[in-house]
Every structure is written in C-alpha cells, then in structure tokens.
Structure 1
Amino acid sequence: MSWFATLSRLTVLTAVLIMSSAVMALEPTDEQRQAAVESADSLRYGHYADVNFDEAWSQNAFDRYLDILDGQRAYLLQRDIKPFNHLRTELGRVLKNGELDEVFALHQRASQRREARLEWLLDELDQGLDFDFDGNQRLEVDREDAAFATRESELETLWEKRLKNDALSLALTDQDREQVEDALRQRYEGQLSRIEQTEPEDVFGLFMAAVTGSIEPHTAYLSPRQGESFDIQMSLSLEGIGALLQTDGEYVKVASLVAGGPAERAGVLKPADRIIAVGQEDEDEMVNVIGMRLDNVVDLIRGPKGSKVRLEVIPAQAVDTTRSHVVAITRDTVDLEDQAASSEVIELERDGEPHSLGVINVPTFYVDFDAWQAGEDDYRSTTRDVAEEVEKLKEQDVEGIVLDLRNNGGGALQEANSLIGLFIDRGPTVQVRDARGRIQLYGDSEAGTLYDGPLGVLVNRLSASASEIFAGAIQDYGRGLVLGSNTFGKGTVQTLDQLNHGELKLTRAKFYRISGKSTQNRGIEPDITFPSLIDPERIGESSLDNALGWDSVRDVQYRRYGQPEEFLPALKKRHEARAEDNPNFVYLERQSALARKLREQHTTVSLNREQRKKEMEAQEAEQLSLENQRRRALGMEELDEWIDAREDAMAGSHQDGINDDKDDDDEDMPAERAQVLEAAEILLDYAGLAANTRLAKG
C-alpha cells in the first residue's frame, strides 16, 4: 500500500471518528448514579474481603475497565486514554460519589474508535478484497498483554492483518471471494449496529463489571434485566439449552453445562467451547455473535421448548479459530427428574473371581424447596435419591460404592451436609466464616450410617462448591478415597443485595473444611490423580482474575473412620500399572500434554494460505494419531479424519460416566469412561487391602 493511500485512509478514519461523537453521546441516569453509591457502601461494609477504595484499587479497576473496553489493544491509542489517566487514582471517589460522567466519556471514546474501525473495514470491503494470502506475515492471536499503540499507523498494520485473517479463515472453509465479502460485511455491519444501539445501561454495566471484578470474580452487578434472567435461571424454569455462558474477550464461552440439561444430554458442547454464531431452525442465516453483549447472545439461544437452535462453535481444544463446526440442540426445560441421581453396577474380575462395585452418579445437589417448605413428606432431594440408590446397590451385594461428582457444580448446601450423613454417624461437615471472622459450624445431627463400606468419590475440575465440601469431608474423616483431578476451588458464599436500580451479588462468606483448610482457590486435591482434558489454566477458580486466596482456620473436633492414606503407596502402584496398559488413560495423558504444547507454541497464526493449512493439518494429524493409537489398542476401527473423531466423540459421549446403553462394550465408550472403571478398580484394591489389615490386626 502506498504512503498516499495510507494517509488517505487515516484521514477517512479520523473523519468518521469526529462525525461519530454526536451519535455516541450517552449520559448516566440518576438511578445509575445512586446505584453506584449504594454499591460502594455494600462492597465496603458487606463484602467478605477488606475492600478499600484506595489508589491501588483504583489502578486495578481502571486497568480492568480498559481491558473490558479494548482487551486486545486494537482500537484505543495512548492519546485517547491520556485525558482520563487521573481516574487511575480516583475511581474510588467516582464510585462512592456516583460521578460517572468521565467513565461514560471514556466508553464513548472507545465506541467512537470501534465504530470508526468498523466503517473502515466496510469501506475496504466496498473497494473489494485483493488478498493473495502469500508471504510470511503472521498475526498475533492474543494481545491482552500488548501496550496501547502510540500511532494510528500501528493499528492500521494490525487491522490490515486482522482483515486478511478474517478473510483467510472463511476462504479456508471453501467459500469464494464473493461469499467471503458477504459474510464479513454481515459480521461488521452487525457489530456496527450493536454499537449504535448502545444504551446507558450497557455502559454502566461494563463499568460495574470492572468495579466488582477488581475485587473478586463472584461479585457482580446485575442490571434489572440481568436480575430477572438470574431469577429465571435459579428457578430452573428457563427454556433453553442448559449451558452457563460467560464473556471471554470478544467471544462468548461455555462456562459449564447444567446437569441434565439439553446440551449436557446431547453431548455436543464442552466447557471452554466458544460460540461464534447462533441460528434458528427455521432460518438459513446464522447471526455472528463475536463482540455481542452476553445477554443478547443468551436471548438468541433461548426459545420455546421443543424448538432447535444451531450454534457455530470453536472447540475448547482448537488452537486455530477457523476450526469451527455447527451443532444443533433441541431446547427444553430442566427439572429435578433430569438431575436425579442414578446408579449402575460394574462387574470386575480378579484371579478368575467376579466382583461387583456400585457407581452412583450425582449431577447436582438439589432439593425441591417448594415441596420441602410445604411440609410434604415425599419431596425430592439429592440425599433421598442417593439413599435409594445405595439401598439398591446393597441389595446387589456390591463390595464398594463410588460417588461420581464429576461436573457437579454444587447446589444446596443443606444437601451436601445431609449426604455426608449417609456415610458417617453424626458429626461436623463444614465451617462457614463471615467477613467479621465469625465461624458457623454445619453438620449431620442424625444418628446412624446408611452405608459404612468402602467408599470412593470421583471428581474433576468442574466439581465445585457443595461437591468440594462433600469430597473434603470424606477425605478429612478418612471415610474413603477421593479420585480424579483437582476440583474447581470455589469456596465462597454469595448473597443478593437489592439496590435502588438492579442488584449486587456479593461474596459474604467462605467455606472451610472440618480440618480447617479452605476449599477456596486450591480446591480438593485427590488422593490419586487421573489425567484430564480440562485445562486448569482456563477453567477453575485459580484461572480467574482477583480470586480470593487459600487460607485456613482452626480445625474442629471429629473422629476419623479410617486411615486410607496408609494404603496410598500400594494403591498408586497398582493404579499406575493398570494405567500404563489402559489405552484410554494413555490417550487422556497424551492428549492433555498435546493441548498444552499447542497452546504454548501457537501464539500467532500464519496469513499464508498454504502455511496455514500445513499448520492446521499438522495439529490435527497429531490429534488424529493419538485417537487412532487408542483405537488400535482397543481393537476399534481407525478414523481417516480428525473431524470424524470429534463427531464420533460427540455422538457417543455422555460425561456423567453412566453407560446409558448397557449393551455397548465399555471399550467403545469415550476415553473418560475409563475413569469410572478405574475408580472401581482402585476401590476394589482398597477394599481388599483394608480387609487384610483388619484380619492381621484381629
């Protein structure tokens, strides 16, 4: 591009920026000013942490606000930010006094830059794309640590590469030039339209996200509209796909799946998948949602029960964002029946002798509050349903029971307490400490134990909150073994504070195990660790900005039921021997290592078509090779394409580990099924070692 052409385009960009200023003028409302004041008071005097709106906090909040406005450093220049630099030390005053004008002005500056850039992109499309996709250019895919540009020409170079990458990504899906230009025009016009529809509530919400997020990740401001959505979600009456979503830069990311929900049942979405487009079953066009507000994306995904929604998804494991695929999910409601505990019996063989182990899947900690409060005798709850499954397994003379809490994000605290009570004879279960340091002790007060045999608890990175309380108590009591991978690490309690305008979800307390250890941040460390495909750097409390740290309080008095740690060396040795010969465990270990390697190596993408294809093919060849190694070892048919492996996994995967088709061989189940089978093997080992020790001591 010539120097004159570059100068001309910079002039156009500047002109658009000047013309946009009147269009984007937004001012805070009196209700929002008052909500800011009330939020400051709630945060200072009600939050668990010691919140002090000093200069250090202001710096953190200001930087976070800039990250929200321009996280990839692609729009704002340093000179755009300079007039607002005094806010770096004054945001505390701004919040406490409700002085929001400059906060809104900074948002307006960012919106003007974004709008001008989109107009520039559309102008480029109008002139016709003329990329040859040759050369050695590469695009940095993550610029969150980059400095803001000092000159317009720096951003010009960046956006020329970005536009080229957008075009190349579509061209690699076999779209011709006209299709590529039409798709990009639709994308950019949609983003421009959303900027033009920005309301004061949107600006205030972004600022409050910076305020609350600078304190800790579970504190959040909910606008009146968001509060309504939150209430619907809590009542489980929402008709949608059963996925909890969150923003991740310009993307919308799957945070977790609702147990028993449509997405979880379909098996087509995974945590950390990114949704880039949404389509309805009666419409051919899909709406690009990159850069769209989260609540608007949620509105697109919601719909009547029985209808289908199509989602274009970039898999969590994908390094290259061009490797998206479309999935379809039938919308439905989630009720207690969908989340009910279920069980199965696993048959093992040792030295020619048959052995039976029980597995109970616990998707969530639920209780029918309405029926319970009404005094009904037959209300549904996790504890009652698990108790029924335990009785069924006891009748089948199982030699041990594994409780599968993988992907169980928590729920009713009372159910975690009462569930522990099925396996101990009264005692404390969890400590809850408030902001003033006062500790309240919860426990099981009912005498008797429903099951006192060998017990295992299977967890993963998505086991959180109440699941961690249960697993921690079983571990502290020496009542059984905890198996799997490190849990999420959410050890905090939130309540809702009503504001004059909206609500404030506030962290008010912290969970501690009866041993005094916090479940916060570190989660529960298993006694025996299994490999996992869930990246702890992307999912989990420790991956969240400003997460509260781990600490401890005094332990409480309790008696131990056993000393499983005495058997861990022998159990680990036997487990490792089996894992080395288990194709599914080998696959999980190698796939996890490969995913880490790809993320570390690929911080840029090539803008050369042939080089890009080679890099993509090389990545997929590695993944396909691992999958086919697993299949060969299991005597399964090998696959020709990596996309076949992905589709095959989706067609047969059900993360709960309970085999819905008992006629299928376990070897044909997804690799993660191996964790359930190995948990049963370990528990059988434990039962045998413990019995031999009792005989020796007797």
Structure 2
Amino acid sequence: MRSTILLVTALLFAMHVGAKVVDTAAPLTYTETQSKTAIEIIDKLSTRHYRKLALDDNLSSAYLDKLLETLDPGRAYFYASDIAGFEKSRAKFDDFFKKGDLAIGFQIYNQYTARINSRLLSIIAELEDPETQYNFTVDESLDADRENASWPKDKAEADELWRKRVKAAVLSLKLSGKSVEEAKTTLTRRYKNQQSRLQQQDREDVFETLINALTLLYDPHTSYLSPRTLENFNINMSLSLEGIGAVLQTEDEFTKIVRLVAAGPADKTGQLKPSDKILAVGQGKEGELIDIVGWRLDEVVQLIRGEPNTIVRLQIQPANEDATAIKTVTISRERVKLEEQAAKKAVFEVKEGNSTYRLGVIDVPAFYLDFEAYRQRDPNFKSTTRDVMQLLQELEQENVDGIILDLRNNGGGSLQEATTLTDLFIDQGPVVQIRQSNETISRHHRSRARAVYRGPLLVLINRLSASASEIFAGAIQDYGRGIIVGSQSFGKGTVQSLTGLQEGQLKITESKFYRVSGDSTQHRGVIPDILLPNLIDSSEVGESSYETALPWDKIHAVAHDKYYDITELMKEINPQHEARVAVSPDFNFLKDQLQMVAELKEKKALSLNEKTRLTEKTLLDQRNLASENARRKAKGEAPYPSYEALKAANEEENANALSSPVQIDTEKDAMLREAGFVLADFITSQRVEASSKLANFQE
C-alpha cells in the first residue's frame, strides 16, 4: 500500500495521507466549501486528467476499496461488521461526489477513528501494566502480509491479532538489543505519540484523505493538496536542496526512503538505499532517538529537516534484511551543492582478446540546470549539457576508444537538458513526443545541431533511472546510436501540473511522454539491450509497483535516423557477455544475494519464538558470510573469519567513503566494468564496418 508521492529533488514528503490517528471526541463533518471543492475536483478530473475514467458505479466500487485500503491497509482496525455496513454504499459514491455529499465518507472515517482510538487505549494499558509478560518460547507466528486477509470478524479476533502484533514489536526490539521493559517503554511512547496526534486531526485532514483515495484511482501522481499541505509543499520547494537529500513516502505505519538525491548527504553515507524504513530520528550526536512509527510524513520531515552543518541520526530498518537488522546512520545536514551533482569523468582500460581499450566514463547523477543564471543570460551558467560537452572534449583529447554514459540512480530533472544532452550524440531529429489529455501531440523537443561526439557509445541505467534519464536513454536506443546496458528503468512517463481550487490545489496528470519509436516510457520504462541483475526490488520501486499507474501504450512513430542495428549486434555481443558473467565472482555473489532476497520475500509469517528468530538470523548471517568469502576466494583475497569481521569491514568502508570526495570507482564497480567489456565487444565487432559507418557519419 502506497501513498501518493510528491517527487521533489530533495527531502520532501508525500502529501497523500496514509493510516492516521484521529480524535473521536466529536464526529467530524465537512464544510460547504469542501463540498464545492469536491465538485470542482470531480470536474477537473473528468475533463483534464489523462486517464478518462467514467464516474460510475464501477469507479464507486473501486473507491470504497481504495478508501479502506488507505485507512486500514493491514486490516487490523475495522471489523467485518463495519465493512458490511459500508458495503451498502458501494455503488453510491459516484452520486455522492457529483453532489458534493461527503457524509458517508466522513462517517466511515469517524468509525475508523473510533476503532483506532479504542485500540490505542487497550494497547497502552497493556504495555503500562507491570504484570504484562510475553512468552517468547511459544511456537506461534504473525501473518506478515495481510493485504488480502479477512477482516477480523469481531473484537475478540481483532484482540488476538493485536496481541500478536504487539508481541512481535516487543520481540523485534528485544532482538535489536533492548530489554523487554525498554521495549515496552519504547512502544508505549510510540502509541502515545499516535494518541496525541488523535487530538490534532481536523476536517481538513479528513477531506484530504477522502479526496486522495479518489485521485489515486486515476494515477499515483495525481493528488489533492489541502491549504496546510500546500503551505508545507511550498516551504519544501524553497528548501528543496537542503536537509539530507532523500525522497520519502508513507507505507502503512512506516516512513520509507524512495530515492536518494545524487551527491546529497544521505547518498554520501553509503548506508541508505531505497525501501529502507526510518524507525526513529535523533538530533545531534547524542540526542534521544524519537520513535516516529505511525507519524504523519510531514511531521517526520520537520524532525529530519534542519539547519546546514547540524547532525541528524536516523534509526533504519534496512530493506531486504532480517527485521532485527536495525542500524543508526549519522548524517550531517547540508545544502546539496550543484557542483557536487555535476557530471564527472574517469578513464579505465579493459582487455578484450589481444586488444586493450581505453574507455571514458561520464557519470551524470541528475539533469540539472542553473535556471537563475540561465534566465539572467549568464554565459557561464551551469548545466548538464555544458558540463558533459566539456568532459567529452577532454576525453577525446585523452584518446579514449569509446564512452560510457552512466545514468544509474539519475532520477531525472530538466526536460530541456534531456533534449540538449541527446543533441550531443545525434544529428538533427526529434527526441521525445508529448501527448496531452486532449490527444494533441507535441514534437518540439528536438536535437537541432550536429552531434558533438560521434564515437562508440554505451548508456548504463538501472531501476532508479527515471523521467529525463528515460527520455535520453530511449532516444539513444531508438536511434540505434549506442547500446543500453543495465536493468529496466523506473517507468515514470507522465507529466503533472498544479491547478487552483476553491480550497487547496490539485496536482493532476495531464500528459504523457512517448519515444520517437512511438513507445511510451510510462510503466515499462526503457528495457536495456543487455540486462544486468539489480538488488532493487522492482515490485517495490518503480512505476509498475503502483497499482493504478497509467499503462504502457504506443502511438505512431516519428521519422528518425538509425545509426546501428543494435539488435543484430546483440547476437554476437550478448553470448560473450553471458559467458563472462557466468564465471564472474562479483556477479555470482550478486546472484546469491538476489536468491536470499527472494527467499526473505517469500516468508509470509513472522515467528514469535525468540529461539527460532535467533536461529534464522544466525543462518542468514552465515549465508552472507559464505557468499562474501566465496567471492573473495575467487578473487584471491583472504576470507573473513566471522560475520562480525565482515560487518566491521563494511562499516569501515562506509566511513571511508563518507570522508572522501565522491568519485567514480572503476575498479570495484562490477556493473561498470562489465559495461566496459560490452563496449569493447561493440568496438571489436564493428572495427571494420564501424569505420566506414562512422566515416560516413562524419561527412
């Protein structure tokens, strides 16, 4: 279950409200202005949204499911009798919205708050009772995935579910090093924090939740911003490059990292990755870690955000690891400097047969443009295209045989820069097509000059390459200008705009990107010519992970040149790549890691037996150690004597990386090295034929 994300370039927050706690002192009701705003939103969604959905009984039915999923994703608060009562309105929400009648929505929300308030009171009483004990020797388990579970049939069944949930939380804290009493204190504070937020919610929050359950049916990037949310959004826009440099979202009770801003403070630690969950936040090196599970995302952001050169500590539950693998990451807040996000280069050599090739690599972490300097006509304004052009000229002077453009983890940025960067590698021609909701198609984004670099090219992408990165990589692939290597990209191929309302604003998806081949970049993203494995779980990260993401589709292609027949070249290059990967220590290690991640994901039940959990953790640690040592032995390196030694070495490496300037690692980066071999294969296979083609290309 996911909330709508507002993807801003640094530490932002998702405006869509997830499961939240509300005061039940008095039932909340809607205002006349909210009623009129709801009607206005319905009109804008019907006339301006790219996806044409009929506001009918089918949408009404889907709305009820989405609202219940938003409020109670773990199916732990509502009873089956509550759901039976809501079912009476399943086919009526379309009529309610047309009239601006929000009564049933508020009634459902008020019932939810009554259930969650009652549950919080009972949990806190249990945790504060000194007689409460937990038996961790009993063989029982908690269903970890309740997305499709049945609703508790009554209070007794819900009580049993919550008994296990609280016990699981106590055990996880105990396994992370706390005593049972310390765990009870931590959880008491967590649930009292939720209870205090119960007092703070008002009808504005409820309205936002109800409306966003509707907008999510259109697509995950369309959302309603209440006046309060809009104010926070504008504050974050003005501070968009300050903080820790991470994009966050709410998932169930947790705050999850979606993306790290390139060269940002969080990225520099080397200890955070997408899908990691933030459990607690502390100020300074010694400040108390405040448990933030169950907090609203804007409140979490307020804790994390702060003045430059100050310290914030995040307690993290790493993704794809045992639930007890909790760690604390120390981050120095700072403004993300444009020069640190700038493209950078390196040169490395690979040997292919009897030939040794010098290859240049240009790392492009973002599609940036100093808009202020550009508007003021500063001749030295900084941009991705200008920087890459300079690096290309330098690399050609260093006599490289080919160039790798590294777009891994590049979440996008300026569409203008995506277009002008493409212009450096192809001659005149279209770069991207944009289709509006009224089906008009724009092809104004074009390459307008002769290519600056005309040699062999490879583009490296991964699951976090999004938006502008996908436009560039898609154009290079469609033109057959170079080889695309890596993993399937993010698939963000839609464009949003903000539009005013009587109360608040609506962020609405109005257009969609298409490649010159006619293929959309939406949902499917860019599929590489050669696929490399990736530890990023595509079911958790990427456009296709959103249930209501707009689908991939195709429009008419636009005339464009074709420089190489990449498909034909792959018949020769891909077998060579597969042969290398099959015996590569690094790729075999990655294969082991992927297998372990898959096994962890398959576990649908969480044991509440302490001995069983400790055994599971020990076995997982031993597998990680064995996998790493197998890699080291294959490379002729000494194995680690224990898992503790491996962990210490990793922590030391992270500390060293944090204190060193961000550089391109051409030695340890297995993906980059293999991309180099693929490019060398391309050069080798094309030496005779490519010479004539490039000669014609240069004419």
TM-score (norm: length of structure 1): 0.91
Kept in 2, the 8 Å contact 1:236–1:335? The answer is: no
Q: Who is 2:332 aligned against?
A: 330
661 and 30 in structure 1: CA distance in 2 versus 1, 3 angstrom threshold: closer
Give the aligned residue type for 1:546.
Answer: T
Equivalent-residue separation in structure 1 for 2:139 and 2:208 (angstroms): 42
Summarize the Cα distance change of 1:401–1:660 in structure 2 as closer, same or farther, 3 Å threshold.
Answer: farther
Amino acid at match of 1:553: I
More displaced stretch, 393-402 vs 344-353: 344-353
Match of 2:630 in 1: 629
RMSD, aligned α-carbons: 2.3
Structure 1 residue 590, shift from structure 2 partner? 2.2
Q: Is the 8 A contact 1:489 1:542 kept in 2?
A: yes
Match of 2:179 in 1: 176
Equivalent residue in structure 1 for 2:105, among 103, 106, 111:
103
User: Measured at CA, do residues 22 and 377 of structure 1 come closer, stay the same or move farther in structure 2, by a change above 3 Å?
Assistant: closer
Equivalent of 1:199, from 202, 210, 218?
202
1:420-447: CA deviations, max 9, x gaps? Answer: 1000111011111111211111343532
Query: Paired residue for 1:591, among 590, 593, 610?
Result: 593
Q: Identify if the C-alpha distance between structure 1 residues 168 and 393 changes in structure 2 by more than 3 Å, giving closer, same or farther.
A: same
**Corresponding residue SS for 1:686:** helix
Q: Matched residue of 2:431: which SS?
A: strand
8 Å CA contact 2:30–2:103 kept in 1: the answer is yes
- Does residue 510 in structure 1 map to residue 506 in structure 2? no
Q: Distance in 2 between matches of 1:276 and 1:579?
A: 38
* CA distance in 2 between partners of 1:677 and 1:222 (Å): 45
- Rounded to whole Å, the distance in 2 between the matches of 1:665 and 1:43 is 47
Q: Which residue of 2 aligns with 1:133?
A: 136
Deviation for aligned residue 1:653: 6.1
Contact kept in structure 1, 2:176 and 2:326, CA below 8 Å: no
Instruction: Tell me the equivalent position of 2:223.
Output: 220
CA 1:410 to 1:605, structure 2 compared with 1: closer, same or farther past 3 Å?
Answer: same
Deviation at 1:385, TM superposition (A): 1.0
What is the 5 A alignment of 1:416-455?
416-455=418-457
Partner amino acid, structure 1, of 2:188: R
CA distance, structure 2, for counterparts of residue 625 and residue 586 of structure 1: 12
Aligned partner of 2:534 in structure 1 is: 532
Please report how far the alpha carbon of residue 644 of structure 1 lies from its aligned counterpart in structure 2 after TM superposition. 5.8
1:444 partner amino acid: R
Percentage identity across paired residues of the two chains: 42
The whole-number CA distance in structure 2 between the counterparts of 1:649 and 1:48 is 47
Contact kept, 8 Å, 2:409 with 2:461, in 1: the verdict is yes
Shift in CA distance, 52/641, structure 1 to aligned 2, threshold 3 Å? farther
Deviation at 1:190, TM superposition (A): 1.3
Is the Cα–Cα contact under 8 Å of residues 60 and 93 in structure 2 kept in the other structure? yes
Q: Amino acid of the residue matched to residue 688 of structure 1?
A: T
Map Cα deviations across residues 152-204 of structure 1 (whole Å, 9 max, x no partner). 11111111111211221122233223222212211221121122222222212
CA distance in 1, matches of 2:550, 2:601: 26
Which SS does the other structure have where 1:94 is aligned? helix
| Alignment match of 1:414 (pick from 413, 416, 423) | 416
Bigger drift between 433-442 and 86-95 goes to 86-95
Alpha carbons 1:24, 1:112 under 8 Å: kept = no
The answer as to whether partners of 2:435 and 2:514 remain within 8 angstroms in 1 is yes
Deviations 1:264-292 (A, max 9, x none): 12222100111111111165422211111
Aligned match of 1:689: 685
Query: Residue 23 of structure 1: SS of its match in structure 2?
Result: coil
Instruction: For 1:170 and 1:252, locate their aligned partners in 2 and report how far apart those are by CA, in whole Å.
Output: 18
Confirm whether residue 382 of structure 1 aligns to residue 384 of structure 2: yes
Matches of 1:511 and 1:365 in 2, distance apart?
Answer: 17
Distance in 2 between residues matched to 1:580 and 1:665, nearest whole Å: 23
What is the deviation of 1:24? 4.7
Measure the CA separation in 2 of the matches of 1:332 and 1:96: 47
Amino acid at match of 1:619: L
Q: For each residue in 1:613-637, what CA deviation from the matched residue of structure 2 results, as whole angstroms up to 9, or x when unmatched?
A: 1122222322232222222223344
Match of 1:17 in 2: none
Paired with 1:666 and 1:621, the residues of 2 have a C-alpha distance of: 29
Q: How far is 1:518 from its partner?
A: 0.9
348, 351, 354: which one aligns with 2:350: 348
Q: Which amino acid aligns with 1:588?
A: L
Partner Cα distance (2:662, 2:417) in 1: 29
Residues 1:543 and 2:539 are matched in the alignment: no
The Cα of 1:381 is off from its aligned counterpart by 1.1
Give, in angstroms, the shift of residue 480 of structure 1.
Answer: 0.3
Which secondary structure does the structure 1 equivalent of 2:278 belong to?
Answer: strand
Aligned counterparts of 2:636 and 2:32: Cα–Cα separation in 1:
69
Classify 1:335/1:173 alpha carbon distance in 2 versus 1 (closer, same or farther; 3 Å).
closer
Q: Select the residue among 264, 268, 271 that pairs with 2:271.
A: 268
The letter for the 1-side match of 2:622 is A
Give the distance between the partners of 2:618 and 2:271, measured in 1 at CA: 23
Deviation at 1:207, TM superposition (A): 1.4
Alpha-carbon distance between aligned partners in 2 of 1:631 and 1:677, rounded to the nearest angstrom: 17
Give 2:19's aligned residue: none
Partners of 1:589 and 1:233 in 2: how far apart?
A: 40
The 3-state SS of whatever aligns with 1:442 is: coil
2:23/2:117 contact within 8 Å kept = no
Distance 2:273 2:208 in 1: 28
CA contact (8 A) 1:273 1:313 kept: yes
Find the aligned partners of 2:539 and 2:647 in 1 and give their Cα distance.
23
Contact 1:430 1:513 in 2 (8 A): yes
How has the CA–CA distance of structure 1 residues 519 and 650 changed in structure 2, closer, same or farther, with 3 Å as cutoff? farther
Structure 2 residue aligned with 1:481? 483
- Closer, same or farther: CA 313–514 of 1 in aligned 2, 3 Å: same
Distance in 2 of aligned mates of 1:221 and 1:233: 17
Number of equivalenced pairs: 669
Q: Partner of 2:83 in structure 1?
A: 81
Distance 1:50 1:661 in 2: 45
In 2, distance between residues paired with 1:30 and 1:612?
54
- In the alignment, the residues of structure 2 paired with residue 22 and residue 403 of structure 1 have an alpha-carbon distance, to the nearest angstrom, of 56
2:565 match: 563
- Distance in 2 of aligned mates of 1:267 and 1:115: 40
Moved more, 578-587 or 234-243: 234-243
Q: How much has 1:27 moved relative to structure 2?
A: 2.4
Matched residues in 2 for 1:653 and 1:95: separation?
A: 52
Conservation of the 8 A alpha-carbon contact between 1:139 and 1:607 = yes
Select 1:679's aligned residue among 675, 680, 698.
675
Pairing 1:5-154 to 2, within 5 Å after superposition: 23-128=25-130, 129-154=132-157
C-alpha distance in 1, partners of 2:633/2:43?
62
What is the distance in 2 between the residues matched to 1:650 and 1:239? 26
Question: Is 2:494 aligned against 1:492?
Answer: yes
**Corresponding letter in the other structure for 2:597:** A
Q: CA deviation at 1:141?
A: 1.0
Change in Cα spacing, 1:97 to 1:621, as seen in structure 2 (3 Å) is: farther
Unaligned runs of 5+ in 1: 1-19
CA 1:43–1:63 in 2, change beyond 3 Å: closer, same or farther?
Answer: same
The question of whether the paired residues in 1 share the 8 Å contact of 2:268 and 2:662 is answered with: no
**Does the Cα contact within 8 Å between 1:410 and 1:466 map onto a contact in 2?**
yes
Range moving further from structure 2, 133-142 or 572-581: 572-581
TM-score, normalising length: structure 2: 0.91
Could you tell which deviates more after superposition, 484-493 or 83-92? 83-92
State whether structure 2 residue 315 is matched by structure 1 residue 312. yes
**Do residues 243 (structure 1) and 246 (structure 2) align?**
yes
1:267/1:650 contact within 8 Å kept:
no
Deviates more, 1:688-697 or 1:425-434: 688-697
Q: Give the stretch that moved more between structures: 309-318 or 374-383.
A: 374-383
- Unaligned 5+ runs, structure 2: 1-21
1:278 touches 1:286 (CA, 8 Å); kept in 2? yes
